[in-house]
């Protein structure tokens, strides 16, 4: 198997693109895919300040590295959820990447430690609230990422969601025809109202396998373990299914998610609509000021409830 | 496990409905589901003449039996595709059902034998045409069912497609976002133009498992083998996946397909649209007169091509 570009020995075969690449050409290919995604979705410019949400896993560290390499102005935020040794190890990986790579670009790391700031780790909070850990964690991360981005005047917040993440989430939303979620499942969510950061997903064109290969080739030292709380989740089941279909028909995930995006774009002037809908139903939370559709936002409700139960 | 209705011992548990039933109550339950589907989709009345497409399998024979039992005016059509012992056995099952059950209701069986009428079985035709057998078979069945229905003045043509068939077809259409197929995936396709029969799927609310149980309880002697040509098909893979999801979350198939139908109905005055679109682009085939969007319909093209290659 030879590299499509330079004809040396290839290290990865991409049946969905009908191509194979050697390490340097593969790295170039992924960079091009990211640039193409940023442009196609009009995500951000070189003058804007970007905050990347990092977990210590392959996707978010790869995103940080690629954006730095491409010359974007980017810092990162790590939210330490306090999930025992998993969080400790993840934090170590993030710190190491910051020291070894990001510091060379004068890129900064923000850290928010849930146990210190909220008084308990995510598992204890979930137990107090009688809520599943993953949904408690979702509320926490969405809230803190947005807060840090807005308070520090970042223009845009970027997450490491990849094609596998988006395709499996789309499958879940389609199986239940969750129209509201389907409407908002886009790699670029505009900052519709004061208090919301713009949110983008620059890796939406890359598969998990491509990102893992990139991380290995480019010596990114990442947390290999999955979060222990995610075991048995629906998302993992959907991913497994899509991987099975991908093996039978290379390109399935891409056709499914990109096809959805095209359909969405054709169907309407999407950005305008999301902005209009949000402006109609969102206003500042009475407690913290972040936009919410209720009087008190879900994070503040969650934390108030947790306090009454301590 | 006790029957939800009469509290005797249950024979089947339906987690998606959160109910269990004994044999007679289960039979009643399925009849009610079919009646509900016929009404909800405005399929046909007791005065209309129905032609059921039968293959000898559990779905189509069960459909024939239920419609007879409910007092509808129904005959059947069997298309013998000439697939060796599989077709022979299927034909036997259909003949036996006609003799043992249908004849008591004075319900008639039409038979179309591909080998006699078209000069070769479906496998040979597919080979001659260099086309996959399943798509050749699809064209053949759609054409012959419609022809027999229209020539014999049936008001409507019914097929035994069940919830598993429709959900897996929907999954395939959604994975590729095939808008045109999605638009027409409904349990009631109107007779949009002269020469097309109305097409309905009265079993769309029933799972494969429910129909198989009904067939066993009600001693319907059916062809158990899958068509040997369907092995390894995408549809079987999709069904397997949906079954896996159904085990994890009972009701997945129902939510997926019924949710799609609701969304479709809300989105538009569907029937009118299909009728309008068809009237705009369909006209009689220059060879046989059945409606087509080309000059010659796909069946006549197929047969003309086969003849040049004999």
Test A234 with B248 for CB contact under 8 angstroms. yes
List CB contacts of A236: < 8 A, sequence separation 6 or more.
Answer: A226, A230
Q: Which of B140, B158, B151 is nearest to B76 (CA)?
A: B158
Q: What is the pLDDT of residue B192?
A: 83
Smallest Cα distance from B217 to chain A, Å: 32
At residue A230 the predicted structure's pLDDT band, cuts being 50, 70 and 90, is: confident
Q: What is the pLDDT of residue B271?
A: 54
- Could you give the CA distance from residue B285 to residue B299 in angstroms, rounded to a whole number? 10
* C-alpha to C-alpha distances, B281 to B146, B199, B223, B285, B297, nearest whole angstrom: 18, 19, 39, 12, 13
- Could you give the CA distance from residue B226 to residue B203 in angstroms, rounded to a whole number? 19
Compute the Cα dihedral for B14, B45, B141, B281 and give only its sign.
negative
Which residues on B lie below 8 Å from A260 (Cβ)? 177
* C-alpha to C-alpha distances, A187 to A154, A174, A238, A244, A268, nearest whole angstrom: 18, 17, 19, 24, 16
Smallest Cα distance from B189 to chain A, Å: 22
Smallest Cα distance from B253 to chain A, Å: 8
List CB contacts of B46: < 8 A, sequence separation 6 or more.
Answer: B71, B72, B73
Which residues on A lie below 8 Å from B248 (Cβ)? 234, 237
Which whole number is the average pLDDT over A196-218?
97
Q: Report the relative pairing of strands B188-189 and A73-80 from DSSP bridges.
A: unpaired
Mean pLDDT score across all residues of chain A: 94
At residue A31 the predicted structure's pLDDT band, cuts being 50, 70 and 90, is: very high
At residue A39 the predicted structure's pLDDT band, cuts being 50, 70 and 90, is: very high
According to DSSP, residue B70 is labeled T
Which alpha helices (H) appear in chain A, and where do they start and end? 23-40, 58-69, 84-100, 114-117, 122-129, 133-151, 163-175, 179-184, 208-217, 234-248, 252-267, 270-281, 298-309
* C-alpha to C-alpha distances, B292 to B145, B181, B276, B279, nearest whole angstrom: 15, 16, 15, 11
ipTM of predicted complex: 0.87
Is the pLDDT at A270 greater than 60, yes or no?
A: no
Number of cross-chain residue pairs from A and B with Cβ atoms under 8 Å apart: 46
Residue-by-residue DSSP string for B243-291 = HHHHHHSTTHHHHHHHHHHHHHHHH--HHHHHHHHHHHH-EE-TTT--E
Which residues on A lie below 8 Å from B175 (Cβ)? 245, 252, 255-256
Q: What is the pLDDT of residue A278?
A: 83
For the ranges A37-46, A265-274, B188-197, B252-261, the lowest mean pLDDT is seen at A265-274
Q: Report the relative pairing of strands A198-200 and A156-158 from DSSP bridges.
A: parallel
Q: What is the pLDDT of residue A180?
A: 85
Among A234, A237, A241, A252, the strongest candidate for a mutation testing the B interface, having the largest count of B CBs within 10 A, is A241
Test B256 with A176 for CB contact under 8 angstroms. yes
Query: Across the 310 residues of chain B, what is the mean pLDDT of every consecutive 10-residue run?
Result: 96 95 98 97 97 98 98 98 96 98 98 93 92 92 96 97 98 93 92 92 98 98 94 91 95 97 78 76 92 93 87
Which alpha helices (H) appear in B70-185, and where do they start and end? 84-100, 114-118, 122-129, 133-151, 163-175, 179-184
Smallest Cα distance from A241 to chain B, Å: 7
Q: What is the pLDDT of residue B270?
A: 53
Strand partners, A133: none
Q: Buried (b) or exposed (e) across A5-31, using 16+ Cβ within 10 A?
A: beeeebbbebebeebbbbbebbbebbe
Residue B287: count of CB within 10 angstroms of its CB: 15
Q: What is the pLDDT of residue B272?
A: 63
Is the pLDDT at A269 greater than 70, yes or no?
A: no
At residue A95 the predicted structure's pLDDT band, cuts being 50, 70 and 90, is: very high
């Amino acid at each position: 198997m030879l590299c499509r570009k330079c004809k040396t020995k290839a290290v990865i075969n991409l049946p969905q693109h009908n191509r194979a690449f050697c390490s340097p050409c593969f790295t170039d290919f992924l960079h091009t895919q990211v640039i193409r995604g940023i442009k196609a979705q009009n995500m951000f410019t070189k003058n804007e300040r970007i905050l990347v949400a990092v977990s210590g896993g392959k996707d978010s560290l790869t995103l940080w590295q690629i954006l730095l390499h491409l010359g974007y102005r980017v810092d990162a935020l790590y939210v330490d959820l306090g999930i025992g040794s998993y969080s400790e190890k993840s934090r170590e990986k993030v710190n190491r990447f910051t020291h070894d790579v990001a510091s060379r670009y004068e890129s900064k790391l923000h850290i928010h430690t849930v146990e210190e700031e909220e008084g308990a780790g995510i598992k204890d909070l979930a137990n107090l609230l009688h809520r599943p850990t993953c949904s408690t964690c979702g509320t926490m991360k969405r809230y803190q990422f947005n807060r840090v981005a807005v308070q520090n005047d970042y223009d845009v917040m970027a997450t490491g969601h990849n094609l596998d993440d988006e395709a499996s989430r789309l499958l879940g939303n389609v199986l239940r025809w969750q129209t509201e979620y389907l409407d908002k499942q886009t790699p670029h969510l505009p900052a519709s109202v004061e208090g919301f950061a713009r949110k983008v997903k620059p890796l939406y064109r890359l598969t998990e396998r491509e990102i893992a290969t990139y991380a290995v080739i480019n010596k990114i030292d990442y947390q290999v373990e999955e979060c222990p709380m995610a075991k048995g989740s629906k998302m993992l089941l959907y991913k497994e299914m899509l991987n099975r279909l991908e093996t039978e028909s290379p390109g399935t995930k891409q056709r499914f998610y990109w096809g959805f995006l095209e359909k969405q774009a054709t169907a309407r002037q999407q950005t305008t609509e999301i902005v209009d809908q949000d402006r109609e139903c969102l206003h500042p939370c009475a407690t913290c000021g972040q936009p919410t559709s209720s009087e008190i936002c879900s994070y503040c409700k969650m934390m108030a409830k947790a306090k009454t139960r301590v």
